[in-house]
Amino acid sequence: MPKDTAFNSNELFILISGIIAYVIIFLLPKRFTRQQTVTMLLIGIFISAFFDNTVCINPFNYYSVNDTPFVDFWDMLSFVMFGPFAYLFVYFYTGIGKNRSTYFFYISVWALISMFAEALAWHVGVYHYKNGYQLFFSLPIYLIVLTVTMVYYHIFIRR
Amino acid sequence: MVLAVTLCLIWIVVNLFIILPKRLSREENLFLFLTCSITIMISLLIPAKRMYFGDHGFNYSVEGTIAFLFNRNVIFPVLTLISINLVQDKGLWKKSLTFAASFLVFILFCKLEEKHTIVTSISTLILSVYFICYYILMLFLLKVFQLLGLKRQSGDE
């Protein structure tokens, strides 16, 4: 079925969620240095670009992003939209009391939030699953990505 | 075969990065790794289009794709890290030597492993121009990142 290339729900979702996320970052009290902030934004962008340029391509080809089969302006903007993801994940983690198991529950909750956000994005047409891919398959990806981000926090922020 | 060669190359490149002296901090190295990975992924969108989205008469094995992904996301970024760390050394001849060696490695790697690096055949001239622009961009972004740290320090003082 041909996809609708006009400006509609998926583009609007990318714009609104991206703007909201960056405004939240701007409004929150600063806890990190500028270098750390830039690095965390880049981690989010890198993760999104990496998975969209790996899982989306042959021979995997498990989903496509937005309206065109190739990477277009809106796909690039969706990479940028993911920038605040790592920042907010680390930001809220620095603000809570921690014990030995906090990280486990924190990552689990964020993985569920990510799944919910992806379901929303799929619903508005940002993602188009193919070749039997299902939303649930993204869960291990989120768990790994969030764990890697947690490792970044322990190595670069906490020390 | 190609995957075995790529894995050996990864081992060599990563160990070179560990062994060679690092002039940049951990934060700067991470920043550089992320920026060069993103730049390479975006740069490859057009040349690797045939592989990414399928093309009649252009078959790619899973092994070949994994080798391509390792080249794109590990070997090229780590080689960039090694080169940019070495180019921070004082002395013009050292800088020139590092740049020349990096240029040579880049061109040779792209030409010898064309199918698993740049996928489509690209002329040496265009590759050379790309490498120079890429290298200058990485140095510029690193400088901006370092200035962000300096601004913070002077603000603290």
- Residue among B43, B148, B151, B154 with most chain A CBs within 10 A, to mutate: B148
Q: What is the reported pLDDT for B52?
A: 80
Is A41 at the interface with chain B, CB within 8 A?
A: no
Q: What is the pLDDT of residues A64-101, one digit of tens each?
A: 888 887 788 888 999 999 899 999 999 999 988 888 89
Q: How many folded domains does chain B comprise?
A: 1
Q: pLDDT-derived band of residue B36, with 50, 70 and 90 as boundaries?
A: very high
pTM of the shown model: 0.91
The answer to whether B67 and B104 are in contact (CB under 8 A) is no
Q: What is the reported pLDDT for A73?
A: 87
**Contact flag A76-B42 (C-beta cutoff 8 Å):** yes
ipTM attached to this prediction: 0.90
Contacts of A43 in chain B (CB under 8 A): 34
Distance (Å) of CA A117 to CA A33, A63, A85, B50, B89: 28, 16, 11, 31, 46
In this structure, is residue B54 part of a structural domain?
Answer: yes
Determine the structural domain holding residue B103 and report its residue range.
25-147
Q: What is the pLDDT of residues B94-105, one digit of tens each?
A: 999 999 999 999
Distance CA A157, CA A150 (A): 10
In this structure, is residue B102 part of a structural domain?
Answer: yes
The answer to whether B47 and B119 are in contact (CB under 8 A) is yes
